[in-house]
Structure 1
Amino acid sequence: MSDAGAAVLNRTKLLAARYRAATDRPYLASALYSLTVVPSRAVPTMGVDRHWRCYVSPSFVDATPVPELAGVWIHEAAHLLRDHHGRAGRLPAADQRDHARVNIAQDCEINDDMIADGLPLPAGRVVPADFGLPDGRLFEEYLPGIPPQPHHDCGSGAHGRPAPWERDDPGVPRVSEVEAEALRRATAEAIRAHERSRGRLPGGWRRWATEVLEPTVDWRRVLAGAVREAVAWAGGAVDYTYRRPSRRTPALRGAVLPSLRRPLPRVAIVIDTSGSMGEDDLAAALAEVTGVLREVGVRGNRVSVLACDADVRAVARVTSAEQVELGGGGGTDMRAGIAAALARPDRPQVVIVLTDGYTPWPAEAPSCRLIAALTSGATPGRAAAPDPPAWVETVRLGPTPGRTP
């Protein structure tokens, strides 16, 4: 369970630092004591893998005072509690490959909370101000503002990529993902209880606990998934074409076999232009929809946009919210827009309605996929609109989870 460096590890000092961290921040005790110590001379300081093993450099322990070691314990546990490796796995592929930048961004997310909590940081630890960035953000928000550079490796428990010093020996204890989720929830509940009895904690830990105990859905991801799924469903119809003969044709003399093709569907976007619509909400939703359509290859003359309040005001091809004229003359009735979209010569297979939701809906399901993106939930203090019929795929727009208002 240890390499050649284990004999010189000052376990008494290391465990005293963990005890201090758990005593001063009791809401983190369960997570701290779930970490398995693995001594290693290959790790520069301390790091964690995604199975909650904490790799420790004996020389780093010798050179670091106990108060700072206690802070490093909390720092490494925070990577795992905040599911940094899971979140890193959802980044674009190019960002995932640059795990040093990802690690820096993650350290910025953690270290500003540690400073706010009065914890000392060892030399060389990064904070958002080092890059001219504000405190209190998620690492995904910090990442674009961090230039490429070398950085201390916190291990796969942070950025998700196994470090050279990580081990997976059968005898080394590991925490399963189910156990990890239970630890996160128990820690979030302990944070809530601590705040009720002893006062406020740094904002990052409060927001994290709220997200664990009262999770919100990232509407952008849900809307993008709904659009992709609807386009895939509509494109599932196949037809035969002689433009590209079947591969079996050469085997048949004198006969040409057609091949199957999967045509791209047509999409109509019906936009509520009544006065109650907020431009920012509309811009976010339209940008998300058009971005997904471009990504799956549906663009140009396969996408029509209909501006509608109580009646259809315009039919156009637009690519941004700035090209849509808001402020219709009266009430809201998206039935008119849906009917006009389906009556077009190039009838769409997918209709996406961007509206605040205060509208009547068709009495029965149309012969197409219908998605409603409701902006009423994105406006603070405004009541959500009634649910559309069950056969309408509904996404309620709202703030992106974890962002500072």
Structure 2
Amino acid sequence: MNSTPATAPVPAEEALDHEKLYTARLYAVRVRPYLATALFALRVVPTRRVPTMGVDRYWRMYVSPAFVDRTPMRELAGVWVHEVAHLLRDHHGRGDRLARDLGLDGEAERLRTNIAGDFEINDDIYGDGLPRPAGALRPELLDLPPGLLMEDYLRAVRLTPRTPGMAWLDCGSGADGHDRAWELGPDGADGLTPQEREAVVYRVAQGINGRPGSTPEGWRRWAEQVCHPPQPWRELLGAALRAAVSSAGAGDDYTYRRPARRAASLPGIVLPSLRRVPPRVAVVIDTSGSVSDTELGSALLEVAALTRAVGGRRDLVTVVACDAAAHTARRLCADAEIPLVGGGGTDLRAGFTRALRLTPRPDVLVVFTDGQTPWPSSAPPCRTIVGLFPRPIAARSGEEEDEHLRRPPEWARVVEIG
């Protein structure tokens, strides 16, 4: 066993009952097999400075020998599951973000965060072999509904005359992100590295996804998010567009309304200055049969967002519908609907060619596609952003080139949509 004593060593008469503690862990693994990897990853640190058991963000579990002695084995197994659930649900990272965003500080705010984290996980930990301890916190104790997230509970939890009985709660920094004096910190022994922590979390999530019928709904939602984290694609797309707009040469023009500064060195000569004007944006939308109506609707919503990004100048945005051939290029100079003609095969090279032949030529090119298309062999002479509707890549023998067609070229800034 790799265990490191905390700052206060445990006297011999209060030595930790390792046999009971690890028997409880084995029982927890038997009734919650999908958490086995995480339960065995915890590093045990005996200490008298915690009231029960607590964890830090480095996957050390601090254990009170007196608590182990007085707690029945099955309830002790529930505490194992409870503490590892704090770490798997990233309550330490989420607590850090909440503290930063909401300005939370001090012991009272730490307690509120710990309570909110307990409310999130305690509704799907107990039962099916794990008895609920008498002191387990549930949202119903504060007349709150079950099934919410820590962030929701934190905004609702208030320290009132009904909460003093919860003041004993201290699950460690792994439950709320606030470091404790009794923790060993980042330089202490036996903590997991960031790579090891990520590997444990991902392996547990994979196991749950492999047998979803054997786990509660809350754990299934968590596992799905770990393996397929949602991307803030609208923010990413907006950032990519802003980067393209602000690049050198995009939207630049000359004006004599304000002479250039260097004109002072050339008496009698008026030189124009360079000014920034809204960029011209060409949008190529893949209208082939492999793109769904829902995805086309998402593309049109993004066209509206692009228009707002250029100051509402609809005349600066042109849309080209393209399947195997480029269709009408429509400038958004009216409120009429954008006709998305197509439905056949896909060859976006025709759409690229049509967009780059626009007069004046676009400063930014935005393409919405599922990626199942040939791509131009060389980069366009303007910044290019690809909004990609994701597709699973099925390995099919004899069609190695199919995967190549799905992969946007390196010169494009790719943002997954949806």
TM-score category, normalised to shorter length: 0.5 to 0.7
- 1:181 matched to 2:195? The reply is no
One-letter amino acid matched to 1:67: R
Structure-2 change in CA distance of 1:384 and 1:364 (3 Å): closer
Q: Choose which of 311, 321, 327 in structure 1 pairs with 2:327.
A: 311
Pairing 1:125–2:143 present: no
Q: Is the 8 A contact 2:10 2:47 kept in 1?
A: yes
Q: CA deviation at 1:94?
A: 1.9
Aligned to 2:383: 369
Partners of 1:119 and 1:325 in 2: CA distance:
58
Alignment of structure 1 residues 326-365 onto 2, 5 Å:
328=341, 331=344, 334=348, 338-339=352-353, 341-343=355-357, 347-357=361-371, 361-362=375-376, 364-365=378-379
Distance in 2, matches of 1:339 and 1:92, equals 51
Q: How far apart are the structure 2 equivalents of 1:102 and 1:5?
A: 29
Q: How does 1:198-347 map to 2 (within 5 A)?
A: 200-202=214-216, 205=219, 215-216=227-228, 218-220=230-232, 224-225=235-236, 228-229=239-240, 231-232=242-243, 235-237=246-248, 267-272=281-286, 277-282=291-296, 299-301=311-313, 304=317, 306=319, 308-309=321-322, 310-312=326-328, 314-316=330-332, 328=341, 331=344, 334=348, 338-339=352-353, 341-343=355-357, 347=361
| Distance across 2 between alignment mates of 1:284 and 1:91 | 31
Partner amino acid, structure 2, of 1:180? R
Q: 1:111 and 1:77 mapped to 2: Cα distance?
A: 12
* 1:73 paired residue number: 80
In the alignment, the residues of structure 2 paired with residue 345 and residue 307 of structure 1 have an alpha-carbon distance, to the nearest angstrom, of 14
Change over 3 Å in CA distance of 1:352–1:386 after alignment to 2: same
- TM-score, structure 1 normalization: 0.63
Q: Deviations over 1:15-60 (max 9, x none)?
A: 624421323415545543532325254x564332111222346776
Count of aligned residue pairs for this structure pair: 366
Match of 1:20 among 14, 17, 24: 24
Paired amino acid for 2:79:
V
Counterpart-to-counterpart distance in 2, 1:59 and 1:333: 71
* CA–CA distance in structure 2, aligned partners of residues 115 and 62 of structure 1: 21
Q: Whole-Å Cα distance in 2 between the matches of residues 128 and 346 of structure 1?
A: 64
Match for residue 36 of structure 1?
A: 44
Question: Does the residue aligned with 1:25 lie in a helix, a strand or coil?
Answer: helix
Alignment RMSD (CA, Å): 5.4
Residue 111 in structure 1 maps to residue 122 in structure 2: yes
Q: Structure 1's 147 and 287: CA in aligned 2 closer, same or farther, altered over 3 A? A: farther
Give deviations 1:142-177, integer Å, cap 9, x for gaps. 635763425855433244342465443966542222
Q: Output the TM-score relative to the length of structure 2.
A: 0.61
Letter in 1 for 2:368: L
Alignment gaps of 5+ in structure 1: 247-257, 399-405
Deviation at 1:317, TM superposition (A): 7.9
- Structure 2 distance, partners of 1:127, 1:148, is 10
For structure 2, the residue ranges without an aligned partner over 5 or more in a row are 159-165, 262-271, 393-401
**Alpha-carbon distance between aligned partners in 2 of 1:389 and 1:56, rounded to the nearest angstrom:** 52
Could you give the per-residue CA deviations for residues 231-272 of structure 1, whole angstroms, max 9, x where no partner exists?
4355242789997999xxxxxxxxxxx999988755444444
Distance 1:171 1:305, change over 3 A: same
Return the offset for 1:351: 2.0
Answering whether residue 166 of structure 2 is matched by residue 147 of structure 1, we say no
| 2-11 or 46-55, larger mean C-alpha shift | 2-11
The structure-2 alpha-carbon separation of the partners of 1:192 and 1:377, relative to structure 1 and needing over 3 Å to count, comes to closer
Distance 1:75 1:230 in 2: 44
Q: Retained in 1: the 8 A contact 2:47–2:63?
A: yes
Relative distance call for 1:45 and 1:220 in structure 2 (3 A) is: same
Q: Tell me the distance in 1 between the aligned counterparts of 2:299 and 2:339.
A: 14
- Whole-angstrom CA distance in 2 between matches of 1:312 and 1:304: 14
* Alignment check: 8 A CA contact 1:37 1:53 kept: yes
Of all paired residues, the percent bearing the same amino acid is 41
Distance 2:86 2:258 in 1: 55
Contact 1:349/1:368 (<8 A) preserved: yes
1:354 aligned partner, one-letter code: F
Q: CA deviation at 1:179?
A: 3.1
- Counterparts of 2:279 and 2:91 in 1: how far apart (Å)? 38
3-state secondary structure, aligned to 1:77: helix
